């Protein structure tokens, strides 16, 4: 077979499989990583979300493992949602093989996981805590791991998982091949990479700090008391298919979902106070179109692959500029286009500017025609607001 994927060294069954999924060309990270992984190299990769990273490691791993045998591949993920997504991708790409793949994560019973481990798996996608439980109870062994994938390592660091990750790595053989993915490399991660990787090849795709070029961004300045009204009008004027709305707090997410439901929208909520079952239901309902909106805290921002998200709304500006990139990365994935709306109040000006500095580009300040804006000093700052001014309160209530 002669396809762009087989030219990277993938066998016919996998090349057919990806063609069947409608992938005609490998993405940049796939083109660079697949030959390296097939050649047995350790890889340290940084790529924007939505770049096809999962297939970049899953396809060559499936080829290397070939058929059913011992537990030879472990993929560690920071969240259950990401672990689920990776497991699903492996299941899809490995459809034509007899490889056994499962997922190990917390917040659910042990029954099915124990059954799977007893039956014998080839590939496991796992979150660190539950996997350590199983290792301590000797339910599984990592002694035959050939390929270890540490994914979204910077997120693992944020969540305090690095000590667990190190303990897990120590259960695997030194001779393993290690694939390491992280968007940023602060000192703790550089140290972990130095320890876990053997002469790695670096794969860096695009500018790390900017979201996909297919996303158009807008900052909508508004006083806090008018936020929801502006948001509703924005929705009304927008031809959206599916929207993810990000809030800073769990309570905020619940509150907005309720207000949206009252005005006739279908909305699901996803944050860490929700049970695992509720989170899975919310995500599945959103993916299937049962809910037109998903209201989420940053738990959903990283790496989640949801096809066809037409719009991302930052109801609250994220405090961390990097989270902005991850949030808006939920739309415009894999060459499709998307819009990202961000509501900016007086209190958010500083964070909004730090997002622009982080991305290295300015974001257009947009206004909605026909909205009765309450005046704020925000609006005097035009396209490039300076440091936050304290005058806005004086002007509140004065309509323009
Ligand atoms: P990921 O970055 O792994 O989360 O992948 C983002 C999305 O891109 C997923 O929906 C994949 O199914 C899709 N995708 C992966 N590889 C390709 C490709 N070569 N062509 C088109 N879409 C792809």
Same domain, 199 and 236: no
Task: Indicate if ligand 1 lies below 6 Å from the C-beta of 50.
Answer: yes
pLDDT in tens, 319-355: 888 888 878 877 655 444 568 899 999 999 989 998 8
On average, the pLDDT of the chain sits at: 86
Ligand 1 centroid to Cα of residue 22, in Å, is 10
Task: Indicate if ligand 1 lies below 6 Å from the C-beta of 308.
Answer: no
pLDDT tier, 192 (very low <50, low <70, confident <90, very high otherwise): very high
Q: Between 387 and 278, where is the model more confident?
A: 278
Ligand 1 centroid to Cα of residue 305, in Å, is 9
Same domain, 91 and 59: yes
pLDDT tier, 388 (very low <50, low <70, confident <90, very high otherwise): very low
- CATH of residue 315's domain is 3.40.50.300
Ligand 1 centroid to Cα of residue 30, in Å, is 10
pLDDT tier, 396 (very low <50, low <70, confident <90, very high otherwise): very low
Task: Indicate if ligand 1 lies below 6 Å from the C-beta of 51.
Answer: yes
- DSSP lists the bridge partners of residue 177 as 147
Q: Is residue 335 part of a domain?
A: yes
163, 183, 205 — which closes off a domain?
Answer: 205
Same domain, 134 and 244: no
Q: Is residue 46 part of a domain?
A: yes
Under DSSP, the state recorded for 225 is G
Q: Characterise 289 by phi-psi region: left (phi > 0), alpha (psi -120 to 50), beta (else).
A: left
Give the Å distances, CA to CA, from 381 to 26, 275, 278, 346. 44, 43, 43, 11
Same domain, 250 and 157: no
pLDDT tier, 389 (very low <50, low <70, confident <90, very high otherwise): very low
What pLDDT does residue 210 have? Answer: 58
Task: Indicate if ligand 1 lies below 6 Å from the C-beta of 23.
Answer: yes
Residue 128, class by beta-carbon neighbours within 10 Å (0-12 exposed, 13-18 middle, 19+ buried)? buried
Task: Indicate if ligand 1 lies below 6 Å from the C-beta of 332.
Answer: no
Check: CB of residue 299 under 8 Å from CB of residue 272.
Answer: yes
pLDDT in tens, 68-92: 999 999 999 998 889 999 999 999 9
Structural domain tally of the chain?
A: 2
Residue 298's domain spans which residues? 215-381
Q: Which of 18, 49, 52, 149 maximizes ligand 1 atoms within 8 Å of its Cβ, making it the mutation to test the pocket?
A: 52
Same domain, 196 and 219: no
Same domain, 221 and 197: no
Same domain, 190 and 219: no
pLDDT at 196 over 50: yes
Same domain, 11 and 81: yes
pLDDT in tens, 125-170: 999 999 999 999 999 999 999 999 999 998 898 889 999 999 999 9
Q: Is residue 110 part of a domain?
A: yes
Same domain, 201 and 221: no
pLDDT in tens, 221-235: 999 999 999 999 988
Q: Is residue 63 part of a domain?
A: yes
Average pLDDT on 295-318 reads: 80
pLDDT at 37 over 80: yes
Task: Indicate if ligand 1 lies below 6 Å from the C-beta of 31.
Answer: no
Same domain, 251 and 226: yes
pTM over 0.85: no
Same domain, 227 and 196: no
Q: Is residue 392 part of a domain?
A: no
pLDDT in tens, 89-118: 999 999 889 999 999 999 899 999 999 999
What pLDDT does residue 395 have? Answer: 30
The proportion of the chain whose per-residue pLDDT surpasses 70, expressed as a percent, equals 87
Same domain, 248 and 355: yes
Which strands make up the sheet holding 73-76, listed edge to edge? Answer: 101-104, 123-126, 73-76, 147-150, 177-181, 43-46, 201-204
Q: Is residue 168 part of a domain?
A: yes
What pLDDT does residue 390 have? Answer: 33
Alpha-helical runs (H) found in 109-226: 111-119, 128-136, 153-158, 162-170, 187-196
């Amino acid at each position: 077979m002669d396809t762009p994927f087989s030219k990277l060294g993938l066998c016919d069954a996998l090349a057919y499989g990806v063609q069947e999924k409608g992938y005609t060309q490998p993405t940049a990270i796939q083109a660079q990583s697949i030959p390296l992984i097939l050649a047995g190299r350790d890889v340290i990769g940084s790529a924007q979300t939505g770049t096809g990273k999962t297939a970049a490691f899953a396809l060559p791993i499936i080829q290397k493992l070939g058929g059913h045998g011992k537990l030879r591949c472990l993929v560690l993920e920071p969240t259950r949602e990401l672990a689920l997504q990776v497991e699903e991708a492996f299941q899809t790409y490995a459809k034509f093989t007899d490889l056994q793949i499962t997922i190990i994560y917390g917040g659910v019973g042990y029954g099915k996981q124990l059954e799977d481990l007893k039956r014998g798996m080839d590939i496991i996608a796992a979150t660190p805590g539950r996997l350590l439980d199983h290792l301590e109870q000797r339910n599984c062994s990592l002694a035959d791991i050939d390929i270890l994938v540490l994914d979204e390592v910077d997120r693992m660091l944020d969540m305090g998982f690095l000590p667990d990750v190190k303990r897990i790595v120590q259960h695997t053989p030194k001779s393993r091949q290690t694939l390491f993915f992280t968007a940023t490399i602060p000192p703790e991660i550089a140290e972990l990479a130095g320890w876990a990787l053997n002469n790695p090849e670096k794969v860096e795709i695009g500018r790390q700090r900017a979201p996909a070029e297919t996303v158009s961004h807008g900052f909508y300045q508004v006083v806090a008391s008018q936020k929801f009204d502006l948001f509703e009008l924005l929705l009304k004027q927008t031809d959206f298919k599916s929207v993810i709305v990000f809030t800073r707090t769990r309570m905020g997410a619940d509150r907005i979902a309720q207000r949206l439901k009252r005005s006739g929208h279908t909305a699901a909520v996803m944050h860490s106070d929700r049970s695992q079952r509720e989170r899975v239901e919310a995500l599945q309902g959103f993916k299937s179109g049962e809910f037109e909106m998903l209201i989420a805290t940053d738990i959903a921002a990283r790496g989640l692959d949801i096809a066809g998200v037409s719009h991302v709304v930052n109801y609250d500006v994220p405090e961390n500029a990097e989270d902005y990139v991850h949030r808006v990365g939920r739309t415009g994935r894999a060459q499709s286009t998307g819009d990202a709306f961000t509501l900016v109040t007086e209190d958010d000006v500083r964070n909004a500017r730090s997002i622009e500095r982080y991305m290295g580009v300015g974001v257009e300040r947009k206004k909605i025609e026909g909205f009765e804006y309450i005046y704020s000093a925000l609006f005097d700052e035009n396209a490039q607001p300076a440091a936050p001014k304290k005058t806005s309160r004086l002007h509140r209530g004065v309509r323009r």
